[in-house]
Amino acid sequence: MNRRAGKFARIIIPSPLKEPLVYRLTDELRHQVAPGMRVVVPLGKRKLTGIVLDLIEETDVAGTKEIIATQDEQPVLDVKLLQLSRWIARYYSTALGQVIGTVLPPSLKSESERTAVATSSDFAGTGALEKKILQAIRSKKGGMRLKALQRSIPGSGLYPTLERLQSNGAIEIRDRWPGQRTRHAAPSVGEVSPPKSQPTLTLTAEQASVLAVIGERLENGGFETFLLHGATGSGKTEVYLQVMERVRQQGRRSLILIPEISLTPQLIDRLNGRFPGRVGILHSALTGSDRSSQWWQIARGNVDVVVGARSAVFAPLPDLGVLIVDEEHDPSYKQEEGLRYNGRDVAVMRGKLSNCPVLLGSATPAVESYQNSLQGRYRLLQMRHRVQERPLPSIEIVDLRTQLQEPAPRETEQAASLGNTVEGEHDQDGLISNRFAELLKENYKKSRQSLIFLNRRGFANFLQCSTCGYVLRCSYCSVTLTLHLDRKNLCCHHCNFRRPATRVCPECSQLSLSGMGVGTERIEKSVHRLVPEARIARMDRDTTGKRGSHERFIRRWEDGDIDILIGTQMITKGHDVTRVTLVGALLADLSLNLPDFRAAERTFQLLTQVAGRAGRGDDPGQVVIQTFSPDHYAIKYLTSHDYPGFFASEIEFRRELNYPPFSRLINLRIDGPKPDKVEAAAKLLAARLRLSQRKATRLSDVEILGPAPAPIRKLRNRYRWQLLLKGDPISALLDLAQHARAHLPRSHSTRLQIDVDPYNML
């Protein structure tokens, strides 16, 4: 390793601290410390874990303190991950400490997981302190946590003494990774099945030509981003697997990101089948020590493939040969709290820094990605046909304005009050058209499986008083409370506030509250009445709270133990079940009518994905899309499976309103507990930004929109205003965001959140 012996080191504490701190290196440490290593440093009265950013010869900082000790023999972050972290800090306008705090698994950020273990009983120790420490460590069979040692042996002598004892061979300092409790590199998700061996399939012509192009890049080396636009069921996964196989043959490693790991047990099976014992799975349900053990396994090159959701983009794989992002358009790649990064975009940058190809795959690429491919920044690869000449499902649109059994849900629900709905007087609750009801019964009779998609959980969307019109709202958020009959309560879907369900109006005290608007729970009841003999299951956030429940649902669905599966968007993703021949999307308008410039794109993507679940076996698939807006372009192009057609309309809309990809966006959100303070701060901030803008010509093209209250005005008892920066280039917007951070009127309760390339602006 090429270590430059500096006199000082800049250290990042993995927490939202702004600047790196400078520490002095002792002569001894100078030859051990390298960038990316964890070290113990004093900060005030505490001893903290820090990461070495770089080594420097000189510093202006007076009175630097010494680094106490190193924590590992090898860096936890390699040079590339450090570079990536610095890019992220700049691009997402965040402190580097916060970035590194996100990159590292929690247990590696503190001392809590490190244990000193006695390795030999020969050494008696010299000096009182050594003896005392040895005694303490030897008294515990499994070793002693450094945290506990620090408590029982205060003072600065601990770490140097531990170092000495370690070099004498008397003790060993271990993280909780292999050795102490050896773990298999791949604790599988859900029920562990002995991995079945998976044959490598003979590729279709389309798959083969895609693989040839990527294979050539792999052979020649270097960075390039591919956008694989492949129809649902065209065999994208097989392409990923064979790309990873080639990378493995080159002695390099692959990283594959998927939107949600628990929804894709099939992919995990296929990976385990192809790369037995060589797959690292980064699952958010892993406990702290499992996660740090995974981290070390991966960093030491003990796996060839890592699979995981968004944050797996930071997996410390050495010799990265390819990064793959499946369903690259999926909004779950965007982290919406803390460090607000987009895992897909970070993957592309990581590929660039690692000088290896990046493969983005989707049946419905993000508008930005497709535009990138048209402009030559990404290379477009296409697979238009399903494997084995299976047809794409036929999609028909049901116009809810004319084809509902009853007029429209809003009116029909007047009668559906809490009580009489439970009795079940209503057969269809207004959201299952006659056409779809017939198809559903028919499909059941043929012993085939049906999928029903409604992107709203609960029984009724809100409760309204039929006497005075009062609507029940969350006490902490400016949204309505959703009725859950299962649990007999009302629940806020934003902050989880709950109260018992009631029919008494808090405003006029009449017994006249009734449920309005349909959710999955209500549809489940309707479907039971419609097809009473069928095995029906509902999959949404209310039914998947327990660990492993996602996998259990998907496995039951695969095994054919469910005839009709009803659910929210979690049922739209990934699964490949051959007996599913009917899919119904009950209310396309839910996503279409959101106040968000991506509403049409999101709707087209969701509906194409859910439709794509149908007809993946020998029997063709049929899809029914119900909507009040059958003429909307996001709906029209669905029936012809025409993504380019949809894109052409959508890109025109974006161009007209100068939305991405024609401009860039940064959302500045100001929130706090006092509505007047938040409003004042937002207005002052806007005025100051406009002033900064007037002073600098390079900022003059940036539009500053607002300030305005956020669509969800209050969330978790905090009032919210926002300012949208819109324009080009992103560096000008970032400059303004920096100004905003510096200019926000000082107050301990009012916060500013900077959201670069925002997805959720509600």
Residues forming contacts to ligand ADP in the complex (CB under 6 A) are: 201-204, 207, 230, 232-238, 387-388, 576
DSSP string, 713-748: EEETTEEEEEEEEEES-HHHHHHHHHHHHHHSPP-S
Of 95-103, 219-227, 268-276, 475-483, the window that binds Zn ion (rule: CB under 5 A) is 475-483
Q: Segment 493-532, which members bind Zn ion (CB under 5 A)?
A: 494-495, 497
Q: Is the peptide bond before 707 cis (omega within 30 degrees of 0)?
A: yes
Q: Is 622 helix (H, G, I), strand (E, B) or coil?
A: strand
Residues 6+ positions from 154 with CB-CB distance below 8 Å: none
Judged by beta carbon distances under 5 to 8 A according to partner kind, the member of ligand ADP, Zn ion, none in contact with residue 235 is: ligand ADP
CB nearer ligand ADP, residue 231 or residue 523: 231
The CB-side HSE value for 67 (13 A sphere, CA atoms) comes to: 34
- Give Cα 211 to chain centroid, integer Å: 28
Minimum Å gap between C-beta 459 and ligand ADP is: 33
Report the greatest alpha carbon distance in the chain.
90
**Does the protein bind Zn ion through residue 123 (CB under 5 A)?**
no
Q: How far is the CB of 584 from ligand ADP (least distance, A)?
A: 20
Choosing among ligand ADP, Zn ion, none, which partner's interface includes residue 576 (Cβ < 5 to 8 Å by kind)? ligand ADP
Q: Which does 234 bind (CB under 5 to 8 A by kind): ligand ADP, Zn ion, none?
A: ligand ADP
Half-sphere exposure (Cβ direction) of 325: Cα atoms closer than 13 Å: 30
Q: Identify what 494 binds: Zn ion, ligand ADP, none; CB under 5 to 8 Å per kind.
A: Zn ion
Q: At its nearest, how many Å lie between ligand ADP and the CB of residue 554?
A: 14
Residue choice 25, 256, 312, 474 for contact with Zn ion (CB under 5 A) = 474
Residue choice 11, 77, 492, 587 for contact with Zn ion (CB under 5 A) = 492
Nearer to ligand ADP, 291 or 329 (CB): 329
719 scored as a contact of Zn ion (CB under 5 A): no
In angstroms, the CA 362 to CA 331 distance is 13
**Could you give the 3-state DSSP secondary structure of residue 513?**
strand
Closer CB to Zn ion, 43 or 495, in the complex: 495
Question: Backbone phi, then psi, for 124, in 5-degree steps?
Answer: -85, -25
Pick from 68, 75, 31, 257: nearest CA to 150: 68
Output the smallest distance, CB 202 to ligand ADP, in A. Answer: 6
Name the minimum Å distance from CB 258 to ligand ADP.
11
Chain centroid offset of residue 143 CA: 37
In the complex with Zn ion, the residue whose CB is nearer, 671 or 757, is 671
Cβ 382 to ligand ADP, closest distance in Å? Answer: 12
User: Which lies closer to ligand ADP via its Cβ, residue 102 or residue 569?
Assistant: 569
Number of residues this chain uses to bind Zn ion (CB under 5 A): 7
* Binding test (CB under 5 A) with Zn ion, winner from 100, 306, 477, 534: 477
Whole-angstrom distance, CA of residue 253 vs CA of residue 317: 7
Q: Judge contact between 53 and 82, C-beta under 8 A.
A: yes
Nearest-angstrom CA–CA distance, 59 and 388: 66
The DSSP element (H or E) to which 51 belongs, if any, is strand 46-56
Q: How far, in Å, CA of 578 to CA of 528, rounded?
A: 24
Q: In the complex with Zn ion, which residue's Cβ is closer, 476 or 662? A: 476
Q: How far is the CB of 382 from Zn ion (least distance, A)?
A: 44
In the complex, minimum distance from the CB of residue 243 to ligand ADP, in angstroms, rounded to a whole number: 12
The CA distance from 517 to 528, in Å, is 19
Our CB check for ligand ADP shows the closer of 417 and 608 to be: 608
Nearer to ligand ADP, 95 or 227 (CB): 227
Q: Is 481 one of the binding residues for Zn ion (CB under 5 A)? A: no
Neighbour tally for 716: CB within 10 Å:
15
Least distance (Å) between residue 463 CB and Zn ion = 15
663 vs 657: CA distance, rounded Å: 10
CA distance 688 to 138: 62
Q: Which does 462 bind (CB under 5 to 8 A by kind): Zn ion, ligand ADP, none?
A: none
Q: Closest separation between CB of residue 462 and ligand ADP, Å? A: 36
Six-digit token string for 563:
């005839």
Binding stretches for Zn ion (CB under 5 A): 474, 476-477, 492, 494-495, 497
